[in-house]
A and B are shown apart, each in its own frame.
Chain A
Amino acid sequence: MAYSAEKLNEEKVFKDPVHRYIHVRDRVIWDLIGTKEFQRLRRIKQLGTTYLTFHGAEHSRFNHSLGVYEIVRRISDDVFLGRPEWNEEDRMLTLCAALLHDLGHGPFSHSFEKVFDLDHEHFTRAIILGNTEVNKVLTRVNADFPQQVADVIAKTSKNKLVVSLISSQIDADRMDYLQRDAYFTGVSYGHFDMERILRVMRPREDQVVIKQSGMHAVEDYIMSRYQMYWQVYFHPVTRSAEVILTKILHRTKDLHEQKYRFKYDPIHFYSLFNGEITLEDYIKLDEAIILYYFQMWQEEEDQILKDLCCRFMDRNLYKYVEFDPAKEYKKLAELSALFKKAGIDPEYYLVVDSSSDLPYDFYRPGEEEERLPIHLLLKNGDIRELSRESEIVDAISGKRRTDHKLYYPADFIADNRKKPTIKKQIRTLLEID
């Protein structure tokens, strides 16, 4: 029997708080889950620093990857099975792409990618195509299979239907993370009727479409997403932790460039500093390693690195004020000068952070946009873009919400033992006195 068709003697199940059970019958999937590169995802939190705001948010990318796989498995085995537009031969490709779509995420990806100019998608491809256990499993399916999986995840596959299941404005990835993140953070947003959405999904040549009768479930999904972004993902306290984390990495990089002698040598960071990180080095990085360094660097001679690490580990985060860059950029320059006078380096202690989200956007032929919209399948067989049918979605389509905050260490500013006059001026400018 071909490896791709091989089934386990007994179905394996993973107990899951979101989908109740994750079902595995395929040998290929079971073997992929067992690889060291996939197991590494257990040591990478799905929501990075969010656990400092919502203490339950300790779930990992491992949980989420299994969840995305389970959703796609249900679509493929229950909803699409037997439909003429669905090619059964794409089943294994879809399942593998779903399971492996986040494989290249590193620890605290957002900050790491920004500071060291990395791209987790590059590492996802590298793990799938490189000399890895994952590659060995995929190659057993056939020699081209790793490339096919990598192409689906990178959205460069010609199989648009499979791509849209993993990555579009209504895909298995989003459906899992919204519910999972809601569950683990404990918030009451993020819930929607996924069962209903799955039942009304239909395959078409280029993408998944939704039967018109499921429109209200999709509206609910879009509103859930909107609320999760603003209530959880862009929470200002989480952003404060993210700001400090990013600044720790910046400081470490700067110190390395200045030939600073670390008391605790950051050996795991050397290839990152030199911009020559290998796949082998990258796979070794996980959150435990990074937090070990943060713990040890609390004893460094460098006062900035030491302070930032203490702040992160003890959750002594920066405070924030609302900031309007258009009106206040001159004030920002003034504040920066005052921080310098007060002996507080603004490069590390005065940070503007912006968050922005577009709840739903549409693309119509002839326009310059690049987002694939959600399409409804009408009763007469016609296809129509969602916002043309739904007043609720139309009301929020293309409407971006942006939020800027200015972060600063309130304890430093409040400490009047040194430069009290300047600090008073800072507090006045920040309007916190």
Chain B
Amino acid sequence: MLKDHAKLMHAIAVSEEIVGRKKLQKMIYIAKNIAFPFQERFQFHFYGPYSEELTLRVEELCNMGFLNELKEKKGGYYQYRYTLTETGKEFLDINAVDMPSLQDCLLDMNSQNARFLELVSTVLYFSDLSKEEVKEKVFTLKSKQRYTDEEVEQAYQYIESLREKAGLH
């Protein structure tokens, strides 16, 4: 019953708070791609993998009063801060979600910046390609972000470290 909503609420609850829609998108994509059973489907958009279904679910949760969305002005643009409301916590108490080791992974991702998570998620999105092909994709499709070779290498290492945290090794 509303299991997919509960999973997402659980993700935000264990992350304590998530700042930025892009960051939220990338965290869930990376978690899903690595090991965790999120149902939202992703496609490639401006900032890498993006899920319309996830955007939709977040909006639903806000409308239901389970999630709190705070719009904040940051520099020249707005960003959004997501936390669970008290009602959301009550809902999650009734609809417990069992995803051990998700918290470790999400807290780690939450400490990274959205730009790096965008790179990590893009690398994962093209994971069936060779490293050289992935680099070419990153440098072509993400030319405005000006990622370096070194950053792509870091992304690969980071993915491995997350897999270890998720207990995949």
Where the two chains meet, the residues of A that have a C-beta atom closer than 8 Å to any C-beta of B are 113-114, 117, 119, 121, 154-156, 158, 324-326, 329-330, 332-333, 336, 346, 350-352, 354, 356, 358, 363, 366-372, 400, 402
Contacts and interface: CB of A to CB of B under 8 A. Distances in A.
A326 B50 contact: no
Interface stretch (B76-84, B101-109, B156-164): B76-84
B87 A326 contact: yes
A356 B59 contact: yes
Contact of B5 (A325, A333, A363): A325
29 contacts: A114-B39, A117-B39, A119-B41, A154-B43, A155-B44, A156-B126, A156-B137, A325-B64, A326-B87, A329-B91, A329-B94, A330-B94, A333-B1, A336-B1, A352-B1, A352-B2, A354-B60, A356-B56, A366-B76, A367-B78, A368-B21, A368-B79, A368-B80, A369-B21, A370-B25, A400-B56, A402-B56, A402-B59, A402-B60
Contacts of B147: none
A127 to B, nearest CB: 15
A346 B78 CA distance: 42
Given A119-B41, A368-B77, A329 B59 contact: no
Contacts of A358: 56
Would you call the interface of chain B mostly helix, strand, loop, or mixed? mixed
A400 B126 CA distance: 31
A400 B61 CA distance: 13
A326 B60 CA distance: 10
Which interface residue of A113, A121, A356, A363 has the most chain B CB atoms within 10 A? A356
Interface in B66-88: 66, 76-80, 87
Contacts of B64: 324-326
A370 B49 CA distance: 10
A363 B60 CA distance: 20
B2 A154 contact: no
Nearest to B66: A326
B28 to A, nearest CB: 14
A418 B39 CA distance: 37
Nearest to B51: A370
B140 interface: yes
Which range contains the number of B residues in contact with the other chain?
35 or more
A321 to B, nearest CB: 15
Given A156-B137, A333-B94, A400-B59, 20 more contacts: A119-B41, A121-B43, A155-B44, A158-B141, A325-B64, A326-B66, A329-B2, A332-B1, A333-B1, A346-B1, A351-B1, A352-B1, A352-B2, A356-B56, A356-B59, A358-B56, A368-B77, A370-B22, A370-B45, A400-B56
Nearest to A326: B64
Contact of A370 (B46, B63, B77, B95): B46
Contacts of B44: 154-156
B94 A350 contact: no
B160 to A, nearest CB: 23
B45 A155 contact: yes
Contacts of A119: 41
Contacts of A113: 41
A347 to B, nearest CB: 9
Nearest to A129: B128
Nearest to A357: B56
A39 B23 CA distance: 41
Contact of A402 (B50, B63, B76, B140): B63
A348 to B, nearest CB: 12
Contacts of B46: 363, 370, 372
A166 B50 CA distance: 18
Nearest to B126: A156
Contacts of A117: 37, 39
Given A155-B45, A368-B20, A326 B65 contact: yes
A1 B31 CA distance: 50
Nearest to B53: A356
Contacts of B137: 156
A366 B43 contact: no
A165 B79 CA distance: 30
Nearest to B128: A125
Nearest first, the 5 A-B pairs at minimum CB distance are A326-B64, A366-B77, A370-B45, A368-B21, A370-B50
Contacts of A371: 45
Interface in B4-24: 5, 20-22
Given A155-B44, A325-B64, A368 B2 contact: no
B140 to A, nearest CB: 5
A156 B65 CA distance: 36
B34 to A, nearest CB: 14
A363 B55 CA distance: 14
Given A158-B141, A325-B64, A350-B1, A370 B56 contact: no
Contacts of A326: 63-66, 87
A325 B79 contact: no
Contacts of B66: 326
A342 B20 CA distance: 45
A370 B47 CA distance: 7
A190 B43 CA distance: 26
